[in-house]
Chain A
Amino acid sequence: MLERLGRQFGYDERSAALLVFPVFAVLMVVAVYPIVYSFYTSLFDIVLTRPWRRPFVGFGNYARIFADPQFWTAVQRTTVYTVVTVSITTVMALFVALLLNEAFPGRRLLSALILLPWATPSIVNGLMWKWIYDPGYGLLNGILVQLGWIEKYIVWLGDPDKTLFMIANAAIWKQMPLAAILLLVSMKSISNDLYRAATVDGANVFQRFLHVTLPALKPGLMLVLVYETMISIRHFDLFLIMTQGGPGDASYTLSWQIYVETFRNLKFGIGAALSYVLALATFILSYLFIRGFGSKA
């Protein structure tokens, strides 16, 4: 067989294959194998604290997940969080990109400053917002009281009705700059001729935005939506630092459930199955965005 392959492929092809092989092997070991193995794991009822048993349950873990009310609570929380985070991030990023696309003194400095939150490590971001929201000494309460907008300090993260939105705010603060830069890059590629032609046709600034900028931004918007959805739906660090899934189960999202089942309850089978469900949901959403925007773009 090797001889046949040797005859079929020349020296160049074989050399190329040899050079590509290490990368291929590394990818197989660090990416493909874990993905396949975690699916295999999801078919077993593996609980680390019961090492003597490892029953094969087939898709039993998946059935248990879908029958668990806690899972549906997590789906609901994840959906709310993702919709809020992605929509606000995208809209704000669009406005910031439009602003940075205009020529004005200090634009470069502003561009650099706007990127700062994105460069802040996630852990620092979580801790910083936790302090800002603190019901006893938080900056947010301090400012609101000084402005006279509230009389008493408010509980932000400890209020189940506000928690998800407060975490989403911290996420938006960090994620928006990158989205803005991505949209700005798309904007820069729009030909000025299109704007000039629209102006000649009598289009005002809003009409130019609606009929020139927005259609031309579709590839950029698709990229932002796919990226932000993938990030938000799997968000974990802020939940770990700020609320630990609480208060009660107010911030109990899918990624938090995966963490609890895998690393606290040490149920690796269920944890792997949940991870696959989340990965599948991410894949479907990304596909829908690409279908919706991609072909037209």
Chain B
Amino acid sequence: MSLSDPRSVSRRTVLKAAAATAAITVAAEHRSAWAQAPTINFTSWSAAVDQVKSHVSAFEKATNLKVNYENFPWAQYRTSVVTRLVGNAPMDVLWVSDAWLPEFAEAGWLATIDDVPELVKYNADAAPFCTQSMLYKGKQYGLAYYGDHMSFVYNTEILAKAGITTPPTTWAEVVEQSLKIKQTGVVEYPMLMALAIDTWLIEFMSAMVFSHGGRFVDAAGSAIMAETGKGVVEAANWIREAIHTHKIVAPGAVETSEITALRALGSGQHAFCIVPTYRLRALNDPSQATAAGKLRPTLMPKGPNATASATCGWIRFYGMTPGAKANATRRANAVKFMEFFGGKDTGGNYTLQKLLLTDVGLPFCTTPLSNDPEVKAFWTRWAGGGDVIAQQAATAVKKDVIAPWFGEWNETANAAWQSIFLNRATPQAAAASMAQKWKELRGS
């Protein structure tokens, strides 16, 4: 090799440079990994971002730990999180929906917290519905972020204009009152329903089914949804008749998403609607809705076979990854984080739970907070009192279709529901297709 051959020299130089670059990169990665060691990786969907950020700052200040906070839009959250979990991306704590718990637990992406006394102690203060919703096969997988249920909301002004003094208590009365409102010409479609293929559709339908005294599956997990008298067929039939026979629900309901329905309800164009309870704050905020102050919750109307005004409830919770739990330092930090966010902060208060309610309207799972004067004032201001909400929360039932195959079954169910609403299939036939899919997935 001689200096007279410039290409040889250049090749060697390139190789040296490449080796040096690789060495620097490896060293930098080690350094970066070392620097990241005390950092807690927290992943959530993009909700209550300001409140979470402020609480992250408070946590960092109180514990001297760093938090790497990432959030993704709700619509892409499950896919984003699953791909990150499969790819072993650094994650310590994440928000989880109760609907994904079986799927995540079966895949080994969530760690149990039964052996973490710092977290389990908060069960004593939590509503039983919330704790139950974080259990899978008898093991607890997290600490509540918030717990909510579907509320039946009515417009006091529209009812008064139609001469109706008390809101409906049964679905038959909803039809009766809606027809009266329609006849008086106050509004064309008194009952508002968000029946678009949307992530909320299963919650709306579950609320309808549970309020008809029904269930999708029996205690053993077998599908009973296609059986007449078990609630699903009756609830679906009520909606079909409301659209096509009574004409109290707009035919465009199949393309009305939850957020569109909220806008329509807030504009004062409808007398009745089913909404997530946390939306009451925005619905009764004069800066966001013209019908503010007139939208009040009442107990979910009952179907002919129902004994109670049941509704659908759900929770979202903080879960810990097995990777975090397996490492002593990461586990300790993740536990501190979960306690600060899902339990009490270092001052011994349920600060975030209260903040999420008062700022965003998200109901909490922490029962002692119900007696807090600020909480009581909140419900009085935004919902005309908290009694109905507390009563309804007590009858909330979690979706009984939550299973490892829930997501895939729900795809079939969404199309089946819509075929009923469009009058393209009978409730029996559509429910049979849902039941068939359930059976198929359960057996696979």
- Are the CB atoms of A51 and B86 closer together than 8 Å? yes
Q: Measured between alpha carbons, how far is A50 from B108 in the docked complex, in Å?
A: 9
Asked whether B196 lies within 8 Å of A246 as measured between CB atoms, the reply is: yes
The answer to whether B82 touches A266 (Cβ under 8 A) is yes
A83→B411 CA distance, assembly (Å): 27
Q: With A135-B250, A246-B414, A247-B422 as given contacts, are A157 and B255 in contact (CB-CB < 8 Å)?
A: yes
Which chain A positions have C-beta within 8 A of B404? 49
0/1 string, A267-282, CB within 8 A of B gives 1: 0000000000000000
Interface assignment of A260: CB less than 8 Å from any CB of chain B: yes
Contact status A51-B108, CB under 8 Å: yes
Complex contacts, A252 vs chain B, CB 8 Å: 415
What's the Cα separation between A264 and B86 when bound, in Å?
15
> A245 contacts the other chain (Cβ, under 8 Å)?
yes
Known: A48-B83, A264-B407, A265-B408. A247 touches B255 (CB 8 A): yes
A248 interface residue per 8 A CB criterion: yes
Q: Report whether A135 and B422 are in contact in the complex, using a CB–CB cutoff of 8 Å.
A: no
On chain A, the residues within 8 Å of B408 by CB distance are 264-265
Are A248's CB and B422's CB within 8 A? yes
- For residue B264, CB closer than 8 A to chain A, the reply is yes
B402: Cβ under 8 A from any A Cβ: no
Residues of B within 8 A of A243 (CB): 197, 255
Main secondary structure of the interface of A (DSSP, over half): loop
How many residues on A have C-beta within 8 angstroms of the other chain's C-beta atoms? 26
Determine the distance from Cα of A52 to Cα of B422 in the docked complex, in whole angstroms: 41
| Contact call A136/B254, Cβ cutoff below 8 A | no
What is the CA–CA distance of A264 and B408 in the complex, to the nearest angstrom?
Answer: 8
For the complex, give the distance between the alpha carbons of A195 and B335 in Å.
82
Say whether B82 contacts A248, CB under 8 Å: no
Q: When A244-B196, A248-B419, A265-B411 are in contact, do A49 and B103 touch as well, CB less than 8 Å?
A: yes
Closest to A137 in B: B264
Contact partner, B255, options A155, A264, A265, Cβ 8 Å: A155
Contact A248 B415, beta carbon cutoff 8 Å = yes
Beyond A155-B251, A157-B255, A248-B415, whether A136 also contacts B264 by CB under 8 A is yes
Cβ of A13 under 8 Å from chain B = no
Q: Are A247 and B250 in contact (CB under 8 A)?
A: no
Question: Which residue from B83, B108, B197, B421 sits with its C-beta under 8 Å from A245?
Answer: B197
A206 to B: closest C-beta gap in Å: 44
- Asked if B49 is at the interface of the complex by the 8 Å CB criterion, the answer is no
Closest to A163 in B: B255
CA distance A181 to B104 in the complex (A): 51
Q: Which of A49, A244, A264 contacts B107 (CB 8 A)?
A: A49
Alpha-carbon distance between A157 and B411 when the two chains are bound, in angstroms: 19
Query: When chains A and B are docked, how far (Å) is the Cα of A48 from the Cα of B100?
Result: 13
Within 8 Å by CB of B197, from A135, A136, A244, A263, lies A244
Within 8 A of A (CB), among B100-122: 103-104, 106-108
Given contacts A50-B107, A136-B252, contact A160 B415 (CB under 8 A): no
A158 within 8 A of B: yes
A181, chain B: closest CB distance, angstroms: 34
- Mark B222-255 against chain A: 1 for CB-CB distance below 8 A, else 0: 0000000000000000000000000000111111
User: How far apart sit A79 and B234, CA to CA, in the bound complex (Å)?
Assistant: 37
Question: Among the listed A49, A136, A157, which residue makes an inter-chain contact with B82, where contact means beta carbons less than 8 Å apart?
Answer: A49
Question: Cα distance A249–B416 when bound, in Å?
Answer: 9
B307 proximal to A (CB < 8 A): no
Q: Which residues of A contact B254 (CB under 8 A)?
A: 155, 158, 246-247
Of the candidates A52, A245, A248, A266, the one whose C-beta lies within 8 Å of that of B79 is A266
Question: In the bound complex, how far is the Cα of B78 from the Cα of A48, in angstroms?
Answer: 11
Smallest beta-carbon distance A161→chain B, Å: 10
Does A160 contact B252, Cβ atoms closer than 8 Å? no
CB distance from A59 to the nearest CB of B (A): 19
Residues 214-235 of chain A, each 1 if its beta carbon lies under 8 Å from chain B, else 0: 0000000000000000000000
Task: State whether the Cβ of B151 lies closer than 8 Å to any Cβ in chain A.
Answer: no
Least CB distance from B143 to A in Å reads: 23
Residue of B nearest to A46 (CB): B86
Chain B residues, CB < 8 A from A263: 79
Decide if B43 is an interface residue (CB 8 Å cutoff): no
Q: How far is the CB of B81 from chain A (nearest CB, A)?
A: 11
B252 touches A48 (CB 8 A): no
Per-position 1/0 for B390-417, Cβ under 8 A of A = 0000000000000010011001001100
Against A, the Cβ 8 Å flags (1 = close, 0 = not) of B245-279 are 00000111111000000001000000000000000
**How far is it, in angstroms, between the C-alpha of A214 and the C-alpha of B18 when the chains are bound?**
59
Report the bound CA distance from A157 to B424 in whole Å. 16
Chain A residues whose CB sits within 8 angstroms of the CB of B321 once the complex forms: none
Shortest CB-to-CB span from A143 to chain B, Å, is 17
Alpha-carbon gap, A265 to B422, bound state (A) = 25
With A48-B86, A247-B422 as known contacts, state yes or no: A158 contacts B255, CB within 8 Å.
Answer: yes
A18 smallest CB distance to B (angstroms)? 10
A249 to B255, CA, bound (A): 13
Complex A-B, nearest 10 residue pairs according to Cβ-Cβ distance, in ascending order: A135-B252, A158-B255, A158-B254, A248-B418, A244-B197, A247-B254, A246-B197, A248-B419, A155-B252, A265-B408
- CB-defined A-B contacts under 8 Å, sample of 13: A49-B106, A49-B404, A136-B264, A157-B255, A160-B422, A245-B415, A246-B196, A246-B254, A246-B418, A247-B254, A248-B424, A264-B79, A265-B411
Q: Add 18 more A-B contacts to A51-B107, A52-B108, A244-B197 (CB < 8 A).
A: A48-B83, A49-B404, A51-B86, A51-B108, A134-B252, A135-B255, A136-B264, A153-B252, A155-B251, A158-B252, A158-B422, A246-B196, A246-B254, A247-B418, A249-B419, A265-B408, A265-B411, A266-B79
Q: Which residues of A contact B (CB under 8 A)?
A: 48-52, 134-136, 153, 155, 157-158, 160, 243-249, 252, 260, 263-266
Residues in chain B within 8 A of chain A (CB atoms): 79, 82-83, 86, 103-104, 106-108, 196-198, 250-255, 264, 404, 407-408, 411, 414-415, 418-419, 421-422, 424
